[in-house]
Amino acid sequence: MKRVAETCILMLLCILLYSGNTVHALVYDYSATTKCLEEPQIAHYEGGLIVNPEFNHRIEGQTVFGQGAIREVTRKEGNVFTVAHSRTRSLDSFSQKVQLEKGMFYSFSAWVQISEGSETLTAVFKTSDGKLIPAGKVLAKDGCWSLLKAGLVANFTGLAEILLQSKNTRAEIWATRISLQTFTKEQWRSHQEKSINKVRKRKVKFWLTNANKTALEGATVSIKQIKSGFPFGCGMNHNILTSTDYQNWFASRFKFTTFTNEMKWYSTEKKQGEENYTIADAMVNFAKQNGISIRGHNIIWDNPIQQPRWVKVLSRKELRKAAVKRINSLTSRYAGQLIAWDVMNENLHFSFYEDKLGKNASAEFYRRAHQLDPNTTMFLNEYNTIEFAGDKKANAANYKKKIDEIMLYPGNEDISLGIGLQGHFHSDQPNIAYMRSTLDILGSIGLPIWLTEICVDNGPNKSKALEEILREGYSHPAVKGIIMFTGPERAGFKVMPLADKDFKNTPAGDVVDKLLDEWKSGTLKTTTDEGGFSEASLFHGDYNVTVKHSVTNALISFSLKVTEDLPRGKVHVQIDA
């Protein structure tokens, strides 16, 4: 057997996302969603179901809703838009009726602004029986156009009116380039698959030649994936330290984790001044021994009821001293060992530290944590941002506002910041269309997004809901990792266990194992053609590649890393006789 030398130039071939599709493709268009533009952009999907989306026929299709009035405005540059004015109630606006079909997915967008200041605008679907369904929000401003993106999965069939809601009744609401596009579940799933093929995989072309550059035809290229390139993991708790079955179950499936409680302040310092990291240290060691990466959860939790008991009664001066000590202790202890920190947990819903220490408390905490562990991404971690469109505190507009506040604080300019979205869903039909619109908006910020605590509450459809949520997250280009907050029932995970007390799969566990298998390349074999080429579409990750040629008895093995950052080209393997 001859010794073989190899030279690998790892460059990837691009693939089209929606080529040849006669159906309107779903838009992962977040290039402008958080920008305020002088001129509105075109309507998505050519307006879809909306009558007169570009207002080419004045304001045909729009009617008055409520006690206000509407008028048409035409600007000299040619922009036409409708204005809701003389408003006395938050829902006073223009409207258009549309027919919704149960089980269909709806993607809504509109370019909007208001006549004074800045104000949150909400897209609302009003049903014939008076029910108001919020579908998305944006922070609109005076003097520029913002893109309001929203989504809805209809749970009924019937007429609905599309309204824009604003609490500030003094302000006029302006809108143009309005769109509502409908998709079947099958179309939505097809678009997810096409996106996965684009953002999670790469086509790799192998080129095999002899030393004299002549093509090596008929060589077998065996490709085996040994590690996924997409972080997909599971929560872990202290029971893993005493259960071999739990250890084996976890390590055989997951290489990414978040400790559910063991790093939290109420776990590591139950009594003031008595820190105990014994359990957290042991879990970190287990993870290291098994090649499992850890997200640090969490440094500070802003919820008043989740503070250690002794923290709740501290004076302002004592609280600041205790918080600084907590940040210094935890962050420096595990600095350089974790892939992320949830610095402030649920900082949009709660303000325990801001109320007591001042409005810049969280921004100061981020700066301090970054100084102690500068190479680790610092996350804001929040619930209801993707799972519940009706939440007024944690919507995408408020999330963006909080991120801006953190980044604009002196000394925070260079922080590596991340967006953490918990994802605690109900077991009924998850609003995947709203989830998509929110990910689009937050994705435009340009920071890495992780789904940090995916879980579905008890109900007959929870395993089906779990699959829909995971597929939506995995297919979205802005999502860089997913952690589920679950595990085996024996370890105390009761809401959505993946395994029962005997570590046998539950229906939710079957879903996870199916997706783990679906989202990996496994072992592939290809044969080079007369030009010495063979091609394979591979998920991002680490591979062992073996090249064998039966005629020359050439045999070579090498490692290959496939990532989204690899440039266009091919892998050249040269066989030296």
Write out the catalytic residue numbers. 346, 453
What is the C-alpha separation between 557 and 487, in angstroms, rounded? Answer: 37
Amino acid at 112: V
The three-class DSSP label of residue 209 is strand
Contact criterion met (CB below 8 Å) for 57 and 74 = no
DSSP 277-346: -HHHHHHHHHHHHTT-EEEEEEEEE--GGGS-GGGGG--HHHHHHHHHHHHHHHHHHSTTT-SEEEEEES
Contact criterion met (CB below 8 Å) for 147 and 137 = no
Handedness of CA 232, 237, 241, 247 (dihedral sign): negative
Q: In angstroms, how far apart are the furthest CA atoms of the chain?
A: 87
Contact criterion met (CB below 8 Å) for 492 and 212 = no
DSSP 3-71: ----------B---SSTT--SPPP----SSTTS-BSS--PPGGGGBT-SSTT-TTTTTT-EEETT-EEE
Query: At a CB cut-off of 8 Å and minimum separation 6, what does 545 contact?
Result: 206, 221, 222, 223, 224, 557, 558, 559, 560
What is the C-alpha separation between 306 and 314, in angstroms, rounded? Answer: 15
What is the C-alpha separation between 156 and 410, in angstroms, rounded? Answer: 50
Strand partners, 121: 138
Q: At what angle do helices 432-443 and 462-475 cross, to 10 degrees?
A: 30
Tell me whether residue 104 is exposed, middle or buried, using C-beta atoms within 10 angstroms of its C-beta: 0 to 12, 13 to 18, 19 or more: middle
Strand partners, 127: 160
Contact criterion met (CB below 8 Å) for 243 and 200 = no
